[in-house]
Amino acid sequence: MPSQANFALPQGFQLDQYRIERQLSLGGFSIVYLAHDEAGIPVAIKEYLPNSLALRKEGEIEPQVPDEHRAAFRYGMKCFFEEGRALAKLMHPNVVRVLNFFRANGTVYMVMQFERGRTLHDYIQRHRGELKELFIRAVFARMLNGLREVHAHKLLHLDIKPANIYLRADGTPVLLDFGAARQTLMVGQPVLKPMYTPGYAAPEQYDKRDQLGPWTDIYSVGASLYASVTGKAPPRADERSTKDTLQPVAKTHAEHYAPQLLELVDWCLKLDPLARPQSVYSLQKALIQRDTGAQPSARWFSDLGGRLKSFIGRN
């Protein structure tokens, strides 16, 4: 079944106790909506709708799933539901809050707290190649607090990238859009086309899934750090495994950032999983220490929101 674009639910549609306001994003695996609950509180609702398996035409509500893809669709729906159940147990300020998850219209929905602000991807695009080192250290050190909580619950994110690191209006980062269900869906399901984010997925996500672990997310953190430094994603890991053209940022950007930070980025981007930091704690410890051994001041962290307000207000 060729991939196609699915139509979103219409504006004003009543979905369980939520009223759809508009579509926020459309991907190959899901559609995300802005909606409001019965009290008028805004929420983000993620709808399981892989376009390689199901099709919803204009004016329809329930997607059509061909018989040959029904088993894979149902299995993926189960994984998506279990992902919502697992994420709902996470209570951390740097991880998106899952409020509810339910079945309807022949698929599954995950209701999340709606966050106001901008993605790190947007920030990188606006300030390409000019992000301050303390800004990078502060954002990622806080984001890693959330990732440590994820790993503590025996979960992996598996889709960390600047577009999934959200900067709230107060400047604090929050991890969005876990790829766990999407990744789990690949196991034993050759009918599905893998969905990787080029440049940010670790090499073991392509063909060595038995090697997945915290170091897999750490590769993606390194790729996101690389993008913050250079303004673009590193080369795809599968291509690097064949012919590695990646230039170490410790050489290419030595005039702009501290050697310790650049060496940390290159460390995270090692193709060999065992050559990378093995835990978020070890990565975070290295990130908050500068060449002098000093750490970013508490004032910097507390004023992070103020440093971003002008950017958020203009966009």
CATH no. for residue 60? 3.30.200.20
**Which residues neighbour 268 within 8 Å (Cβ) at sequence distance 6 or greater?**
218, 219, 221, 222, 223, 225, 276, 277, 283
57 CA to centre of own chain: 28
Q: In terms of domains, do 169 and 250 share one?
A: yes
Q: In terms of domains, do 178 and 224 share one?
A: yes
Q: In terms of domains, do 146 and 283 share one?
A: yes
Residue 4 domain flag: no
Domain end marker among 113, 148, 174: 113
Residue 12 domain flag: no
pLDDT band at 179 (very low <50, low <70, confident <90, very high): low
Mean of pLDDT values over 258-272: 96
Average pLDDT, the chain: 86
pLDDT band at 129 (very low <50, low <70, confident <90, very high): confident
- For residue 185, what pLDDT is reported? 45
Task: Report residue 81 as tokens.
Answer: 């539901």
- For residue 288, what pLDDT is reported? 83
- For residue 290, what pLDDT is reported? 66
Q: In terms of domains, do 152 and 127 share one?
A: yes
Q: In terms of domains, do 124 and 253 share one?
A: yes
pLDDT band at 263 (very low <50, low <70, confident <90, very high): very high
- For residue 192, what pLDDT is reported? 47
Domain end marker among 89, 113, 137: 113
- Polymer length in residues for the chain: 315
2 versus 307: the higher-pLDDT residue is 307
Least confident of 31-40, 57-66, 154-163: 154-163
- Cβ atoms of 247 and 182 within 8 Å: the answer is no
Is the predicted pLDDT of residue 307 greater than 80, yes or no? no
CA dihedral 206, 209, 211, 215 (to 10 degrees): 60
Domain extent at residue 249: 117-314
Q: In terms of domains, do 82 and 157 share one?
A: no
Give the count of domains, the chain. Answer: 2
Mean of pLDDT values over 286-301: 60
Q: What is the pTM of this model?
A: 0.85
Least confident of 51-60, 94-103, 186-195, 237-246: 186-195
